[in-house]
Amino acid sequence: MANIVLTPQFNKSATFDEGAADARIEMPHSVLFICNFNAVRSPMAEALSKFYCGHKIYAQSVGIRAEDEGANPFALAVMEEIGIDLSHHKPKRFEDLMDSSFDLVVTLSPEAQHRAIDLTRTLDCQVEYWPTLDPTAVVGNRENIIAAYRQTRDMLMTKIKKRFAVNYFPSVS
């Protein structure tokens, strides 16, 4: 398997920075996001990865237990605010995947982390845990709830941009 490694940009006027050379980021070819129900966090992460990374990284998402319906309506709304459509998302479980060979598995909840460790024991992949707010646990009026979903979306967006070294950040006006 070939690994893509991003190295610091070469600058003719600057001296070589050994610290920057050691800070190389290994880029996966494929990533799987796992949360509890595949209705909020992992579909958001999958959609954001596809939006920012395009065809450079193959992204999928699953839940430990899949919801019967599609993505959560609040998740649909906050993703639509930034121009990403989740309306066609169908929740899946790990067992529903056609291919389970991923370079990177990102877990978004403690339960998903434990399950991913069990599921990937015999696979050659890296597992990362990104503790992520579960906005479905927030109660209150609509504004409080939608604010929690936006916070989750924005946190995932920041993590994805940083982890996958996205150089081009499209913006929605």
CATH code for the domain defined by 27-163 = 3.40.50.2300
**What is the reported pTM?**
0.81
Residue 46: DSSP 8-state: H
Residue 108 pLDDT level (bands cut at 50, 70, 90): very high
pLDDT tens track for 43-102: 999 999 999 998 899 999 999 998 778 889 999 999 999 999 999 999 999 888 888 789
- Count of C-beta atoms within a 10 Å radius of residue 1: 6
pLDDT over 60 (residue 4): no
What percent helix, strand, coil does the chain show, rounded to 5? 40, 15, 45
Which sequence spans correspond to the domains of the chain? 27-163
Please name the helix (run of DSSP H) or strand (run of DSSP E) that holds residue 18, with its range, or none: helix 18-22
Q: What is the pLDDT of residue 9?
A: 39
